Structure 1
Amino acid sequence: MDMRAEVYSPLQNATVWLAAWLHGHESADDLIDAWRDLGFTTPASLMAEVREKAEGAHGPQVRLLLSGPGEASGIPGGHREGIVIADRHVLVPEWEWVEADTLPAPAWLSPGEADQLLTQATDEAADLIEASGYRTDALHNPRLTVGTLSDFYDTPGLPGSVPPRAAKLFARADRVAAIIETVISRMGDHSLDSQLFSLWRHIRTARMAGVTYCAGEYSR
């Protein structure tokens, strides 16, 4: 199992950039550059298709869907993640359109509510690391590795127009993801898997809630 894929997706930042562009807060050139940095090419027709599918929609026109083990994304074709346009058109990697009659409702958590859940998750995960007593010459302090991985999750970054509350929430999600990767991948310690796996849903929910909040602010 690819643990990183369960706690991080470049679609998070890609969706924020798309929402910022669609609502007039970022340029098309900056969107294309950001997507390239995130590892996505941009077909010439894609942006026109997004505008066409969003036309006539009211309020926030973009949101993110993520799912994990034991969760159904609701996206036809078995896709685990996608960018939802106007609540029925789903853009899935690598930039194919899927049409859906019904999709799961957005995560209506406020950034503050999602951040509180992740704060509790962060404390729990850090306590699990400390309790494991893991130490080697290469990793005297697990929190140092957490910091290094947090830098990875934050690169490439979000648009300058991202609302500060959403940016804080994404940073919290990245930190919890880095803690989990530290324990499972870097330490090779699987004794805490069951506890850490339960935190994945908190991370995905926070990422979706953050994107929903961004789109709502951009659409004002």
Structure 2
Amino acid sequence: MDMRAEVYSPLQNTAVWIAAWLYGYEPTDSLLDALKSLGGAHTWDGAPIADMLKEIRRVALTAEEEPVVRLILWGPGQAPGLPAGSEASKALTQAGALVVRGSGASHVLVPQYDDEVVWRWFEEAERLPEPSWLSPGEADQLLSQATDEAARLVKLTGYRTSELTNPRLTVGSLADFYDTPGLPSSVTPRAAKLFARADRVAAIIETVTEHLGDHSLDPQLFALWRHIRTARMAGVADAVHDYWREI
């Protein structure tokens, strides 16, 4: 199992950048630079990523409901918000998917992260299952509780070596990794706070399971994954709604 794929989400930042671009807060050049930082080269069924962006804009302009961009993450204990058995759900990887709402349909964009990012596009006429729709405050509270629990579990390991005298130093360096390449400056403070806290918990989990090599707490730590994913989705929803509300 790829632990990092469960706790790290380049798709989170991708969703915010695309929303900021759609609503006029970021130019195309800045979006393309951000996408390159989020996985390298991007292609859409063999076509340049710019073609996919044009199609996203075309679809979004037909939307009868707002906001139009949504992040879908899933994993153990958390089903994907897509119709069961659909082509989009079959194509899902651990990375998740983006949904762009159009007129009478939802367009599901599924990335495959490897040496480059390859996108696939699916159209769903059936209304997608509703997510939890937690408010930023509710998601933050759940993640705050998860943070306290994760930190307590790190302390219980009692892990000390000359390389990692203090496990929290590694947590800090990993948090810096998760934050790269950053978010648009226009992102809401509420969303940025949720993302930062999610990155912090993810870094703690990686410190224990990968850098400290302690898997005795895996069942407890893995239970935190759902809170991380939920916070990332709630943060994207808040940022996108704010972009839409301000236009």
TM-score range, shorter chain: over 0.9
Q: 1:96 aligns with which of 94, 115, 120?
A: 120
Rounded to whole Å, the distance in 1 between the matches of 2:132 and 2:234 is 5
**Does the alignment pair 1:79 with 2:92?**
yes
How much does 1:78 deviate? 4.0
Say whether 1:30 aligns with 2:48: no
Separation in 2 of the partners of 1:168 and 1:189? Answer: 29
Query: How far did residue 56 of structure 1 move?
Result: 2.5
Q: How far off its partner does 1:96 sit?
A: 1.3
Q: Say which of 130, 152, 166 aligns to 1:141.
A: 166
Matched, 1:153 2:171: no
1:171 and 2:196 equivalent? yes
5+ residue gaps in structure 1?
A: none
Looking at structure 2, the residues matched to 18 and 135 of structure 1 have their Cα atoms a distance apart, in angstroms, of 42
**Root-mean-square deviation (Å):** 1.3
For residues 154-198 of structure 1, the C-alpha deviation after alignment (integer angstroms, 9 at most, x for no partner) is 001000110111001100000000000000000000000000000
Listed as ranges, the gaps of 5+ residues in structure 2 are 43-47, 83-87, 112-117
How far the C-alpha of 1:70 sits from its partner, in A, is 4.4
Q: Deviations over 1:107-132 (max 9, x none)?
A: 41111111111111111011011112
Question: Could you say which structure has the higher strand fraction?
Answer: 2
Residue 225 of structure 2 corresponds to residue 207 of structure 1 = no
SS at match of 2:97: strand
Where relative contact order (Cα < 8 A, 6+ residues apart) is larger, the structure is 1
One-letter identity of the residue aligned with 2:106: R
| 1:47 alignment partner, one of 47, 53, 77 | 53
Normalised to the residue count of structure 1, the TM-score between the two structures is: 0.96
Q: What is the TM-score normalised by the length of structure 2?
A: 0.85
Q: Distance in 1 between matches of 2:222 and 2:77?
A: 11
Kept in 2, the 8 Å contact 1:76–1:99? The answer is no
**Percent identical residues:** 64
